[in-house]
Amino acid sequence: MGIYTIRREGVQEAEDVGVVIEGTTVMNNLGSVIMAFIVLFGLIYALDLSYPNDLKYTFEFCQKILMNLDGQRLSTKMEQMKLKMFA
């Protein structure tokens, strides 16, 4: 699961940005990495996928702290992060 960008050498703007799940490109030509992240987040939710283990806390932070979705039930790490941010 991830986001890819294709750039031509020496060009600042990405030629293509897309989302890959289980080795298959599921969305492409998304325009920006931010849009790709939003689409990936939505796909994880819509397809009821588990967050990747190495990015579990990143997605939990975005979901529960930044978006305030289900923010009442935080893991210990996220609770500590929230206290540090808003103290």
Asked if residue 71 has pLDDT above 80, the reply is no
Angle, CA 46 vertex, CA 50 and CA 29 arms, to 5°: 100
Handedness of CA 51, 55, 56, 62 (dihedral sign): negative
pLDDT band at 76 (very low <50, low <70, confident <90, very high): confident
Is the model more confident about 71 or about 45?
45
pTM (predicted TM-score): 0.75
pLDDT tens-place string over residues 24-68: 999 999 989 999 998 998 898 888 888 888 888 888 888 888 888
Handedness of CA 38, 80, 73, 54 (dihedral sign): positive
pLDDT band at 3 (very low <50, low <70, confident <90, very high): very high
Tell me the C-alpha to C-alpha distance, in Å, between residue 38 and each of 9, 17, 41, 44.
Answer: 26, 12, 5, 10
